[in-house]
Structure 1
Amino acid sequence: IGTHAIFEGDVAFKDLALAVVDEQHRFGVHQRLQLSAKGGIPADVLVMTATPIPRTLSLTVYGDMDVTRLTEKPAGRQPIDTRALPNSRLDEVVSGIGRAITSGARAYWVCPLVEESEHLDVAAAEDRAAALKAEFGDKVGLIHGRMKSAEKDAVMAHFQSGEISVLVATTVIEVGVDVPEATIMVIEHAERFGLSQLHQLRGRVGRGTGKSSCLLLYQTPLGETAKARINILRETEDGFRIAEEDLKLR
């Protein structure tokens, strides 16, 4: 079991017969090919993902790739209530978050992508965290990709324990975060995110037995493509259908 480090040239395997790639969309095509060839003969490859990337979908139709779909939720999990609201109603959302955390809920608040710049993404998250701290004080935490690993781990530990009730974040929480007690996801400027990415972010909630909600805040007026993305996300939680619709919109 390993991270991207197992793709390095000095890592060799003896009789590699099966390679399992989790969160397939996070790896490049050449990386997966390198891994399957590391045992001397081509290994069988099993890829797993909640939202197949377009190339993978094409391979399931035209290439040599079998598909198994796992459509049932784990026992006890409920559907996520997904709603879309214009940014003009942000104050209402903040008030609702306040009522929820007073009742013991925990919430993620994901800040928008800004011109493909990690520096600007972090600035947007810092501004939102400051605004929410003015409302809720020390119950608000911040996590982003420019933080050191130890800092991120400490913030996540506080969120998991309930010391922090609102976690403001960039897309660094897209995968690998599991806090069953978190039941609210707010995605600011949802129109700036891709459909698969929105689905991955929504998947950070609904991991326990309680009711969960995902609020998609968008800037008006919405373009036709952005409107279609949001409508699809409201209609289904099926990652394969979302990926198929995403491919159609490209």
Structure 2
Amino acid sequence: LGLVIADEQHRFGVNQRKKLQDKGDKVDLLTMSATPIPRTVAMVLYGDKDVSAIHTMPSRRKTVKTKVVKTKSMKPILPQLESYIKEGGQCYVVCPLVEDSETMDLQSATKIYEAMCAYYKDKIRIGLLHGRMSDEQKDQIMQAFMKHELDILVSTTVIEVGVDVENANMMVIYDAHRFGLSQLHQLRGRVGRSTQQSYCFLFTSSNDQEALERLTFLENETDGFKIAEYDLKLRGPGELLGQKQSGLPSFLVADIMKDFNILERARIDAGEIIDHIDEPQYYSIRKYLEKKIEKNETYLD
């Protein structure tokens, strides 16, 4: 294997990506994501990874209007939802669980689907999609939604990637505080894929101040890079050479957030030295590194 391309790279674990790279010798790796996860941001800043960034949206697309709603039910937005459906639009309703849980007070896709079907009867066409369905069932539901045979699709996060329905420009996310910022941004990316105005409602019943601050930040920010940086400050980037994908790494001296400038400068200088390690001016550094490698002495432990 010579090249690995991981699209939607946030859906892969550290070990999964490593297994792919281990299938060849010095395999090149290209990872792609609309939402850089905190670990990736840190790798870009301080690790051996180059980045190409596209900061512009596709032409003619409008910014998704996002609103945090303190609620556990659809009632506050029902008039807007029904008006939107009557005008020919389609809507995603995303839930964190497939079915109700005895241990977590969260909305499930099955419960919301059944409640909406009972409320609207045959007035609005509603479908249900989740990961426990067979591939054939999931494909049938998605095809029906894409053909506008369904008006509302109640789903879990299986719609997070690979779904493109231009006519669906409204999204409701239940218990939004239970999702990570990057995942919420990725889910929100399912709408706003046409020239129409799109909307995303973040439902939450949480009173946790930090959770509400995160949602408020997302309400006012649509730039995936800025969202990733904010997430980085909250969660930390994880281990640059390990398996943890969150939490602050251990540096002997530097603070990864406060010492951004000098860490970035050190990364550039280190790359310059490695590129010219055989030149005379770097003789002492090369010998020092060779000695450390020979004795297997590193500071990584």
- Tell whether 2:106 aligns with 1:159: no
How far did residue 17 of structure 1 move?
Answer: 3.2
> Percent of pairs identical after alignment?
47
How far did residue 95 of structure 1 move?
Answer: 2.8
TM-score using structure 2 length: 0.71
Question: How is 1:40-79 mapped onto 2 (pairs within 5 angstroms)?
Answer: 41-79=25-63
For residue 29 of structure 1, what is the aligned residue in structure 2?
Answer: 14
Root-mean-square deviation (Å): 2.4
CA 1:180 to 1:146, structure 2 compared with 1: closer, same or farther past 3 Å?
A: same
For residue 244 of structure 1, what is the aligned residue in structure 2?
Answer: 229
For residue 198 of structure 1, what is the aligned residue in structure 2?
Answer: 184
1:191-247 Cα distance to aligned partner (Å, 9 max, x none): 1111111111101101111110001111042x1221121122112211121111112
- Tell whether 2:198 aligns with 1:212: yes
Partners of 2:132 and 2:194 in 1: CA distance: 29
Higher mean displacement: 240-249 or 85-94: 85-94
Structure 2 gaps of 5+ residues are 236-301
For residue 79 of structure 2, what is the aligned residue in structure 1?
Answer: 95
Amino acid at match of 2:37: I
Structure 1 gaps of 5+ residues are 1-15
How far did residue 89 of structure 1 move?
Answer: 6.6
How far did residue 152 of structure 1 move?
Answer: 1.0
How far did residue 112 of structure 1 move?
Answer: 3.0
For residue 230 of structure 1, what is the aligned residue in structure 2?
Answer: 215
Partners of 1:168 and 1:115 in 2: CA distance: 12
Contact map agreement 1:113 1:192 (CA 8 A) in 2: no
Partners of 1:46 and 1:121 in 2: CA distance: 39
1:60-96 Cα distance to aligned partner (Å, 9 max, x none): 1211111111111112211100011111673131232
Partners of 1:50 and 1:104 in 2: CA distance: 28
CA 1:248 to 1:235, structure 2 compared with 1: closer, same or farther past 3 Å?
A: same
CA 1:48 to 1:168, structure 2 compared with 1: closer, same or farther past 3 Å?
A: same
Q: 1:179 aligns with which of 154, 165, 171?
A: 165
Secondary structure class of the residue paired with 1:142: strand
TM-score using structure 1 length: 0.85
Secondary structure class of the residue paired with 1:206: coil
Secondary structure class of the residue paired with 1:197: helix
Amino acid at match of 1:189: D
Amino acid at match of 1:188: Y
Partners of 2:105 and 2:203 in 1: CA distance: 16
Secondary structure class of the residue paired with 2:74: helix
Contact map agreement 2:72 2:174 (CA 8 A) in 1: no
* Structure whose CA Rg is larger: 2
Amino acid at match of 2:139: D
Between the two proteins, the alignment pairs up a number of residues equal to 232
Secondary structure class of the residue paired with 2:222: coil
Contact map agreement 2:126 2:153 (CA 8 A) in 1: yes
1:81-122 Cα distance to aligned partner (Å, 9 max, x none): 0011111673131232111111101000011348997x9899
Partners of 2:206 and 2:54 in 1: CA distance: 36
CA 1:116 to 1:141, structure 2 compared with 1: closer, same or farther past 3 Å?
A: closer
1:32-57 Cα distance to aligned partner (Å, 9 max, x none): 22322323x21221110122222222
Secondary structure class of the residue paired with 1:186: strand
Contact map agreement 2:98 2:110 (CA 8 A) in 1: no
Partners of 1:116 and 1:17 in 2: CA distance: 45
Amino acid at match of 1:18: L
